[in-house]
């Protein structure tokens, strides 16, 4: 067990470091959260295959060597879990920033030929089993067709320069940058082009945000990541000397690039604009702002991100609600 999980979460199907461990732009592999709904399936890596089927001109099956023989692309992207599917508005702050390497989905689909009637792509993993009392034949997610022409969706074989291991979804997983992690199907066994959304448990029952707008229920699949930001330094409950020059820093990300990050050091009464670095591909973006606590006592530090479309973060009751920590300023002796 890695020491970073000790004050994070370490359960058989979930690992998560504390936010304060996320200091690097590229999250080291031993600090990347990991989550499986139904455990890690037994995979025979040598005989692994993925089949492209459904509304395609040619059903094609690729082995690992076929994919290794195709052009490989690198994509730097944040990787964020949407949280527990039973509690979609509870923030879990489970995020990393990594470099995936693999084959472009677009090139794989071009070989199969997508028929005009196709509107969704269902991706299935090799795992299934009992999920809180529901029998799941296979982990299946879906994506709308308009995303499939993007050049940065991968059939990934590597993470941060190393082959995907068993818990990460190896030998091959789907990676959909900008979408919540749940859409990046691990242990990928098939891509099925279909005219409608998948009827599976993780696409219909779970992972759909429901709101009532003007008396009508509006359902939004948990696909595109909403703007989000975290303060990495100082850590929650850190002790800082009054008057000490402190550089508050953290990360901001979302499906669309983040334009503005604001930081409050007084519990949300005033907000100052932080410096924000540009994003690289689908990476998270570093923000920072200088602060020196003027008085002793507890200070509430918060951050909020706004993307290029003007979308921000709610105060509460959302997976991307504003992050808030407490820092203790003391008189230095």
Ligand X SMILES: Nc1nc2c(c(=O)[nH]1)N[C@H]1C(S)=C(S)[C@@H](COP(=O)(O)O)O[C@H]1N2
Q: Which stretch binds Mo ion (CB under 5 A): 25-33, 57-65, 103-111, 179-187?
A: 179-187
Specify the residue, 17 or 181, whose C-beta has the smaller distance to ligand X. Answer: 181
Specify the residue, 33 or 122, whose C-beta has the smaller distance to ligand X. Answer: 33
Count of Cβ atoms closer than 10 Å to residue 275 Cβ: 11
Q: Taking CB under 6 A as the rule, does residue 139 contact ligand X?
A: yes
Which of Mo ion, ligand X, none has residue 158 at its interface (CB below 5 to 8 Å by kind)?
Answer: none
Q: How far is the CB of 86 from ligand X (least distance, A)?
A: 12
Please tell me the distance from the alpha carbon of residue 136 to that of residue 125, in angstroms, as a whole number.
Answer: 11
Q: How far is the CB of 124 from ligand X (least distance, A)?
A: 8
Q: Which stretch binds ligand X (CB under 6 A): 33-41, 142-150, 254-262, 280-288?
A: 33-41
Specify the residue, 127 or 192, whose C-beta has the smaller distance to ligand X. Answer: 127
Specify the residue, 249 or 284, whose C-beta has the smaller distance to ligand X. Answer: 284
Q: Taking CB under 5 A as the rule, does residue 55 contact Mo ion?
A: no
Q: How far is the CB of 164 from ligand X (least distance, A)?
A: 8
Cβ-contact 180, 81 below 8 angstroms: yes
Structure tokens at 236: 């929650």
The sheet with strand 14-16 has its strands ordered as 9-11, 14-16, 34-35
Q: Taking CB under 5 A as the rule, does residue 81 contact Mo ion?
A: yes
Site for Mo ion in 197-236 (CB under 5 A): none
Please tell me the distance from the alpha carbon of residue 136 to that of residue 202, in angstroms, as a whole number.
Answer: 9
Please tell me the distance from the alpha carbon of residue 152 to that of residue 131, in angstroms, as a whole number.
Answer: 31
Q: Which stretch binds ligand X (CB under 6 A): 32-40, 52-60, 107-115, 268-276?
A: 32-40
Tell me which of 181, 221, 254, 293 binds ligand X, using CB under 6 A: 181
Which of Mo ion, ligand X, none has residue 185 at its interface (CB below 5 to 8 Å by kind)?
Answer: ligand X
- With 0-12 / 13-18 / 19 or more C-beta atoms within 10 angstroms meaning exposed / middle / buried, residue 79 is buried
Q: DSSP secondary structure string, 249-316? A: EEEEE-SSPEEEEEEESSTTSS-EEPEEPPP-TB--EEEEEEE---SSEEEEEEEEEEETTS----SS
- The residue count of the chain comes to 333
Q: How far is the CB of 24 from ligand X (least distance, A)?
A: 16
- Triad 114, 117, 119: Cα angle to 5°: 80
Specify the residue, 182 or 285, whose C-beta has the smaller distance to Mo ion. Answer: 182
Site for ligand X in 66-125 (CB under 6 A): 81, 125
Q: How far is the CB of 181 from Mo ion (least distance, A)?
A: 5
Would you call the peptide bond into 116 cis, given omega within 30 degrees of 0 as the criterion?
Answer: no
What residue ranges bind Mo ion (CB under 5 A)?
81, 181-182
What residue ranges bind ligand X (CB under 6 A)?
32-38, 81, 125, 127, 139, 168-169, 181-182, 184-187
């Amino acid at each position: 067990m890695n020491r970073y999980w000790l004050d994070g979460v370490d359960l058989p199907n979930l690992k998560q470091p504390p936010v304060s461990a996320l200091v690097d732009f590229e999250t080291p592999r031993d600090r990347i959260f990991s989550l499986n709904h139904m455990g890690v399936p037994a995979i025979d890596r040598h005989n692994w295959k993925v089949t492209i089927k459904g509304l395609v001109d040619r059903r094609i099956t690729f082995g690992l060597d076929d994919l290794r023989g195709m052009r490989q692309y690198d994509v730097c992207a944040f990787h964020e879990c949407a949280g527990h599917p039973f509690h979609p508005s509870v923030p879990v702050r489970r995020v990393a920033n990594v470099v995936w390497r693999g084959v472009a989905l677009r090139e794989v689909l071009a070989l199969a030929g997508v028929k005009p009637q196709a509107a969704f792509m269902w991706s299935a993993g090799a795992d299934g089993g009992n999920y809180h009392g529901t029998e799941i034949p296979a982990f299946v997610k879906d994506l709308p067709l308009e995303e499939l022409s993007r050049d940065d969706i991968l059939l990934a074989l590597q993470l941060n320069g190393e082959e995907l291991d068993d818990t990460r979804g190896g030998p091959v997983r789907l990676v959909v940058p900008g979408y919540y992690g749940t859409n990046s199907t691990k242990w990928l066994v098939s891509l099925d082009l279909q005219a409608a959304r998948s009827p599976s448990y993780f696409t219909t029952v779970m992972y759909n945000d429901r709101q009532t707008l003007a008396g009508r229920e509006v359902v939004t699949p948990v696909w595109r990541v909403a703007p989000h930001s975290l303060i990495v330094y100082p850590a929650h409950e850190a002790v800082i000397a009054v008057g000490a020059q402190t550089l508050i820093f953290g990360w901001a990300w979302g499906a669309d690039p983040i334009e503005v990050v604001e930081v409050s050091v007084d519990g949300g009464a005033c907000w100052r604009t932080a410096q924000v670095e540009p994003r690289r591909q689908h990476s998270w973006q570093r923000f920072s702002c200088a602060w020196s606590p003027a008085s002793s006592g507890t200070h509430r530090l918060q951050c909020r991100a706004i993307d290029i479309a003007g979308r921000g973060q709610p105060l509460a009751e959302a997976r991307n609600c504003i992050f808030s920590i407490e820092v203790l300023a003391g008189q230095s002796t």
